[in-house]
Structure 1
Amino acid sequence: MSAPDVVAPVVQAAGIGKRYGPTVALHEVSLTVRPGESHALVGRNGAGKSTLVSILTGLSATDTGTVSFGGEPAPPLSKQDAWKAHVACVYQHAMVVPQLSVAENLFLNRQARGGFAIGWKQLRRQARELLDSWGVRVDVDTPAGELSVEDRQFVEIARALSYGARFIVLDEPTAQLDSQAIERLFGRMRQMQRNGVTFLFISHHLHEVYEVCQVVTVLRDARHVLTAPVEQVSRSALVDAMTGEQGGLSVRDAASRDALAVDAEEVLTADALSGDGFHDVSLHVRRGEVVGLAGSNASGKHEVAETVYGLRAPSAGTVAVEGKRLPPGDVAAALHAGVGCVPRDRHHQGLVLEHSIMDNATLSVLDRMGRGGFAPPKIRRVRGARALSGYGIVAAGPEQPVAGLSGGNQQKVVLARALESDPRVVVLINPTAGVDVKSKEALLAVVDRVRAEGKAVLLVSDELDDLRLADRVLVLRGGAVVAEHQAGWPDGDLVADIEGVGLHD
C-alpha cells in the first residue's frame, strides 16, 4: 500500500442528502479531499455547491450521509469551536468587522485578557506573530475596513488557521481581484499547501481551476457528476460535465459577423473625460456597435463606465447621447436620455433583494406605467412575466423575491431592468460576474441581440469571453487609454496590453 493510501482524507463526505421542503439541494453527494491539495468544486448556480459548503463547515445538518475530518466523525453542530478547529470558509464578501483593527478581528471574542481588561499589548503581539508565521504583511493596527480585498482575505485565512484548521474553503476568492492580486493569491496558496494547508476552491473561472488546483469535482442538479485529476479533464469536457450538454461555452465572436456600416450613427460620445481614477478618456460608440473596455481593476475602466451612466461626476470632459450633453453625475438624466446600465455590483447597486422580480424589472420605468409614478400591480405582473420568458429567468413566478434566485437569474433580472426602458445606449459593467457557464451564455446572447437591434453597447469586463462580443476593445492602464484592439484580437496581445508587459509599449 502506498503512502497516500494510508493517510486519512482531510475531509470526507459520503452519501450527503439535503432537502429544503420539496427542493432537493443535494442527492447522494460524496467528496473526498486529500491533505495538501487544492481541490476545485465547480458547477452551475443551483448545482448544490453552497449547500455542500454549509454542511462541510457545520452551518447545516445533513438529512442523510456522513462527514468526517481526518477519519473521525464531524463534531455535533452545537460545538462550533470544534468545527473551527477543522474547517473555515473565506467568502468573496467581507466577513470582518470593518471598524475593528486587524488584531481585534483576528482574535474576536477570544482576546488576550489581564483581569477583566483586554491585554492590548499581548493581543497585538499575538496578531503580529500569527500573520508573520503565514507571511501575511498587514499592519495589525489597521482598521479591517481599510484593507484591500486581497489583504482582507488573507486576514480571514490567518484567523481560520489560528483556530487550528488546516482545511480552508475559498468561495469565489478572485471575484474582486485584479490579475496581479490573483497571481499573489495563487502564490500564497501554493506556499500554504507546502506548509500543510488544504484548500477547497470554488470558482466560475475555469482557467483558474487549471492554474491552481490538482483535483476537480463537478456537481450538477444537486448530484455528484465527476471527480478527477485536473490534468486529465479538458476544459470542454469540464463544461460538458457542468451543463450536461456537449459543445462548451458558445460565444459569438464579433469578428465572425458583418462589419458595421462606416456611416453608422454615433450614439454615445465621451470627450476628454477625467475623474476619480482616470484622465482624458475619449470614446465613441455607434448604433449597433459594441465597444469593450478592458484593464485591471485599478485601470479606471469601471469608473469611466460609471461616469457615462451618471453614477459619478467627471472633473472634466463631457458625455453626450445622440449629440445632446448629459448633466454630470445625474443617473435620472442619463436614464431619461436613453442610457440603460447593468452596474458592477448587482447586490448593492442593481437589485432590491427583498422585492419581487416584477418590482425589480420595472424599477426604471415606473414613471411610464401609471399616473404620478403609481404602477398598478397588474401591469407590473405582466411586465415581470415578460421578463421571465424574455430572459429565461428560472423562478416560481414574477412575484418571487429576487433574493431567492441563483446568481445567474439575479443577473438576468438586472439586465431585464436595464433594457425595460428600451434604451439607445446600454452600459454593461462585468455583466457575467459570478454566474455559471450557461447563464453567461444566455446573458451574452441577449447582449448580442440588443446590438443587432441597433443599440450602442459599452461593455466593461474582466472576462475575455465577454469581450469577444466587442467590435473594438479599448485597453485602460493607469487611468488612460493605452491601446485599441479590433475584433479578432489574439488573447496574448490583449492581455499584454492589460498587464503592461510591453508588446505595444
Structure 2
Amino acid sequence: MNQPTADPPPLLHMSHVSKAFAGVHALKDTELRVGPGEVHALIGENGAGKSTLLKVLTGVYRRDAGQIQFAGEDVNFTSPPQAQRAGIATIYQEVNLVRLQTVAENVMLGHEPRRFGFIDRSGMERRAREVLGGMGLELDVRRPLAEFSLAVQQMVAIARALALDARLVVMDEPTSSLDDQEVERLFGVIRQLQARGVAVIFVSHRLDELYAVCDRITVMRDGRTVYQGPLSELSKLRLVSVMLGRAEQELMQQGQTGFQRTDADGTAGQPLLEIQDLRRPPHLQGVSLSVREGEVVGLAGLLGSGRSETARAIFGAEPGSGEVRLNGQAVSWKSPQDAIRDGLAFCGEDRKHDGIIPEWSVRENLTLALLPHLTKAGVVNRAEQRRVVDTFIRRLNVRCAGPDQPIRELSGGNQQKVLLARWLCTSPELLILDEPTRGIDVGAKAEIQSLISELAADGLGVLMISSELEELLEGCHRVTVLRDGESVRTLAQGELSEEALLGAMAHGSDTAAHLPGDTTYGSVS
C-alpha cells in the first residue's frame, strides 16, 4: 500500500478497522485519512467494503477492531444521529427520506426549528428555501417530496445534509440520479463546502467525476485499503488496475463495457414486442418502439423525456393508451400481474423502494416473483426453492455469505444481481431494465453487461434504459430516443454514434448539439 505524503493533522483518521459478518470479513485492518477542507474519493468494487466502512464511521455498525479519531478526539458512534450531532452528515445513494412529508420537512428532518416548544413551520420553510436556493434550486417546499422526480429527491437529500452545518459530509453515489446540469450544480456546492473548510468523502463509480472534483483518493479491495494518495498521481487506467487487482495490459485489451454484442441482423428473431403510439398524459405523448427476439433495444433520452414512464406503462404499472402487441397478438396489460403472466419482467431503477425487501434474505428476495409456482396449498416447496436459489447464485456470481444472509448487507452490485435473478428464474420472454448498472462498480457492471449479452444470445428480448452513452452504444442493437414523451428517432446498429444520440435527444435528428450543462461525465440524463 502506498504511504500517504506528509499531511496536516487529519479531520478524520480511521486506522486498523476490522468488521466481520457471520465470520466473513467485510473489513480487514482498513485505513481512511481525510484532511480538513479536502474532497476525498473513496473507491472500490462493490463488496470491497466502502459502504461497510462508512457505516462503521457513522454508527450503523459497531467495529470489531480499530480506532476512529474525528477532529482530534477518539470517537465511537453508536448511531447515525450521534455522528450527525458530532458534525458528520451522510448522503446515501438510495434516497433515504420520507416521501409523504413536504420538501421543507425533509430538508429539516431531525433538526426542525422550534418556537414555544412547537415546530416553527414558517421558520422551517424559510430555512429550507435558503439551503435549496444556495444550491440553485427553486422548489415549492410545501409540496410532498413524492411529487418530485428521483433526481430532485436526491438534491433534497443533499440539501438536508448541508442544512446540518456539518464538518464532514459523506456523499455515497450522490450523482447516480442526477443529470449533467444537476451534477455541475452539486460540484459547485462541493466547492463551496471546501472553501468553508468542510471535508467531503465522495464515493462514485464514475471516474471522470472523481478527477473533476477530488483531491486525494483511497482505494479499497476485498475489505482492505490498497492505495492512498493524491488522485493526480493516478491515471484512470492505473486507478482501475489498482481497484480490480488486474494488470494494466489486460485492461487495455478490453472494451469500455462488458457487452459482447453480436450483429442484430444475423441473430435477432421475430418481432416480440411492438408498441404504437403509447400515451399517458402528461408524461407520454406518443411512444412507438419494437423489440425482437434476441435483441437488446436501448431507450435513451434526457431527464424528463419519459423513459421510465414508458417502461412502467409497458409493464402495466402505469397503463396508458395505444397499441401493444406481443408475439403478434394484441394485448392490454392493466397491471404488472397481467404482464408477468404473459412473460414480461421488469427491474426498476430504484433498488431500495421498488426492488429489494431489505430485511428479507437473499433467498426470499430472489424467489419472490416465483413463489406462486413454488407454493402448493399455501406451503412453499423448500427443496425446489433452494435449488433455484443455489442455481442463480452460481450463475450470476452473487457474492454473499449464504442464501439466508439479509440482502441489505450485500453491496449494490450484488443486490442488483439478486433482482435480475428474481426475474430470470421466471423464464421471461422480455426483460425490461431501467438503469441496470446505476451506482455499481466497474467489475460488477461488466458482469451484468456480459449477462445481458448472454441472455440476448439465448433469444431473450431486452429493453434497456441507460443514462450512459457507452452502455447504449456498445450494448444495444438499436436505440429508440425519446424527447418530451415522444419517440423521435430509432437508430439502427450501423447508425449508432455519440453524435447521433446527442443530436436525436436534443433535436430529434442526427445533428450533434451542445446540450445545456453538457459535460464529459459519461451520463446524459
RMSD (Å) for aligned C-alpha atoms: 3.2
Residue 224 of structure 1 and its aligned partner are, at CA, apart by 0.3
State which of 292, 298, 307 in structure 2 corresponds to 1:292: 298
1:318 aligns with 2:323: yes
Q: Could you list the runs of 5+ residues in structure 2 that have no partner in the other structure?
A: 514-525
Which residue type is aligned with residue 472 of structure 1? R
CA distance in 2, matches of 1:158, 1:301: 26
Which residue type is aligned with residue 288 of structure 1? G
Q: Deviations over 1:161-197 (max 9, x none)?
A: 4544232111111122233322222233223323333
1:383 aligns with 2:384: no
Which sits farther off after the overlay, 352-361 or 180-189?
A: 352-361
Distance 1:129 1:432, change over 3 A: closer
Q: Deviations over 1:260-283 (max 9, x none)?
A: 239841111111111251222111
1:433 aligns with 2:434: no
Q: Deviations over 1:376-429 (max 9, x none)?
A: 211111111111222212234444443443322222222222222322222222
SS at match of 1:260: helix
What is residue 517 of structure 2 aligned with on the other side?
Answer: none
CA distance in 1, matches of 2:310, 2:244: 35
Which sits farther off after the overlay, 276-285 or 50-59?
A: 50-59
Which residue type is aligned with residue 447 of structure 2? A
SS at match of 2:266: coil
Which residue type is aligned with residue 498 of structure 2? D
What is residue 494 of structure 1 aligned with on the other side?
Answer: 501
- 1:448-487 matches, within 5 Å, as 448-467=453-472, 468-487=474-493
Q: Is the CA contact (8 Å cut-off) linking 1:311 and 1:331 kept in structure 2?
A: yes
CA distance in 1, matches of 2:407, 2:149: 29
- 1:50-65 matches, within 5 Å, as 50-65=51-66
Which residue type is aligned with residue 217 of structure 1? T
Q: Is the CA contact (8 Å cut-off) linking 2:154 and 2:177 kept in structure 1?
A: no
CA distance in 1, matches of 2:386, 2:94: 32
Distance 1:223 1:490, change over 3 A: same
Q: Could you list the runs of 5+ residues in structure 1 that have no partner in the other structure?
A: none
CA distance in 2, matches of 1:114, 1:259: 66
Number of aligned pairs?
A: 499
Q: Is the CA contact (8 Å cut-off) linking 1:179 and 1:296 kept in structure 2?
A: no
Which residue type is aligned with residue 257 of structure 1? T
CA distance in 2, matches of 1:18, 1:60: 9
What is residue 92 of structure 1 aligned with on the other side?
Answer: 93
Residue 151 of structure 1 and its aligned partner are, at CA, apart by 5.0
What is residue 277 of structure 2 aligned with on the other side?
Answer: 272
Q: Is the CA contact (8 Å cut-off) linking 1:307 and 1:329 kept in structure 2?
A: no
Q: Share of identical aligned residues, percent? A: 36
CA distance in 2, matches of 1:454, 1:308: 20
CA distance in 1, matches of 2:162, 2:425: 48
State which of 309, 312, 328 in structure 1 corresponds to 2:315: 309
CA distance in 1, matches of 2:177, 2:333: 27
1:227 aligns with 2:231: no
Distance 1:452 1:132, change over 3 A: closer
Distance 1:102 1:18, change over 3 A: same
Which residue type is aligned with residue 228 of structure 1? G
Moved over 6 A (4+): none
Residue 135 of structure 1 and its aligned partner are, at CA, apart by 5.8
What is residue 261 of structure 1 aligned with on the other side?
Answer: 266
Which sits farther off after the overlay, 100-109 or 219-228?
A: 100-109
CA distance in 2, matches of 1:210, 1:44: 18
CA distance in 1, matches of 2:457, 2:153: 42
Which sits farther off after the overlay, 112-121 or 293-302?
A: 112-121
Which sits farther off after the overlay, 413-422 or 363-372?
A: 363-372
Q: Is the CA contact (8 Å cut-off) linking 1:260 and 1:288 kept in structure 2?
A: no
Relative CO higher for 1 or 2, CA cutoff 8 Å, sep ≥ 6? 2
Residue 452 of structure 1 and its aligned partner are, at CA, apart by 1.0
Which residue type is aligned with residue 10 of structure 2? P
Which residue type is aligned with residue 26 of structure 2? A
What is residue 337 of structure 1 aligned with on the other side?
Answer: 342
Residue 31 of structure 1 and its aligned partner are, at CA, apart by 1.8
Larger Rg: 1
Which residue type is aligned with residue 77 of structure 2? L
Q: Is the CA contact (8 Å cut-off) linking 1:69 and 1:86 kept in structure 2?
A: no
Residue 89 of structure 1 and its aligned partner are, at CA, apart by 0.7
